[in-house]
């Protein structure tokens, strides 16, 4: 076996700087990709949430005033908020226990073919590859939409699938 060549301190410093630069560039690329992906997802969710309301004319007037009065930078919708109160107010003619019963009936009367599919959100290991993260994000979003997971439960469900570096 050939003797191992030792690196000089200058060479070691050069390699260290190369790795440091590579790590910094990868981190910046991942942060940019995550930010772009999350912005796109949030915009899509906002558009989906507002589209059905606009069609039926059920969009609250005070919300229109808020949207017109402030910039997008100043107004940040809480996509994780519980919107059941808005839906409950729309159905104010019904009694509260009837509203809850109808909500439970919808879950119980779910078509059998939907409940028989095994559709789990894949684990995310926190890799530094932005394409892997975007693919995972799209898969998770499709599964959540298919299962019709309520908005207030999505984050809790997705976080359970983080493993390795993603949990840190």
Residue 31 covered by a domain:
yes
- Whether 140 is in a domain gets the answer yes
What tens-digit pLDDT sequence spans the chain (168 residues)? 667 778 788 888 988 898 898 888 888 888 888 888 888 988 988 888 887 654 544 444 445 544 444 445 444 555 565 555 555 555 555 555 565 666 666 666 666 555 656 778 888 877 778 888 888 889 989 988 888 888 888 888 888 888 777 776
Residue 79 lies in a domain: no
In the prediction, which pLDDT does 77 show?
Answer: 59
pTM for this structure? 0.34
Closest Cα to residue 144, out of 156, 127, 131? 156
32 domain residue, yes or no: yes
Note whether residue 33 is domain-resident: yes
Distance in angstroms (rounded) separating the CA atoms of residues 24 and 91: 52
According to the model, what pLDDT value does residue 71 have?
47
The reply to whether 71 falls in a domain is no
**Position 85 in a domain:** no
User: Range of 150's domain?
Assistant: 121-167
Distance of CA 87 to the CA centre of its chain: 22
Would 54 be classed as within a structural domain? no
Let me know: does 168 contact 130? Beta carbons within 8 Å. Answer: no
Total domains in the fold of the chain: 2
Angle formed by the axes of helices 9-56 and 130-147, to 10°?
Answer: 30
Cα separation, 69 vs 117, whole angstroms: 45
């Amino acid at each position: 076996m050939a003797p191992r060549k030792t690196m000089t301190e200058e060479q070691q410093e050069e390699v260290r700087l190369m790795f440091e630069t590579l790590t910094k560039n990868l981190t910046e690329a991942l942060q940019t990709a995550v930010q772009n992906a999350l912005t796109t997802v949030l915009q899509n969710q906002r558009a989906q949430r507002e589209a059905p309301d606009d069609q039926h004319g059920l969009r609250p007037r005070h919300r229109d005033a808020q949207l017109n009065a402030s910039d997008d930078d100043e107004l940040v919708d809480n996509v994780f908020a519980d919107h059941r109160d808005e839906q409950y107010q729309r159905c104010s003619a019904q009694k509260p226990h009837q509203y809850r019963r109808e909500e439970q009936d919808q879950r119980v009367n779910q078509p059998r073919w939907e409940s028989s599919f095994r559709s789990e959100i894949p684990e995310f290991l926190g890799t530094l590859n932005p394409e892997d993260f975007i693919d995972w994000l799209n898969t998770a979003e499709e599964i959540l939409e298919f299962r019709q997971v309520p908005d207030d439960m999505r984050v809790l469900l997705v976080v359970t699938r983080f493993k390795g570096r993603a949990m840190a």
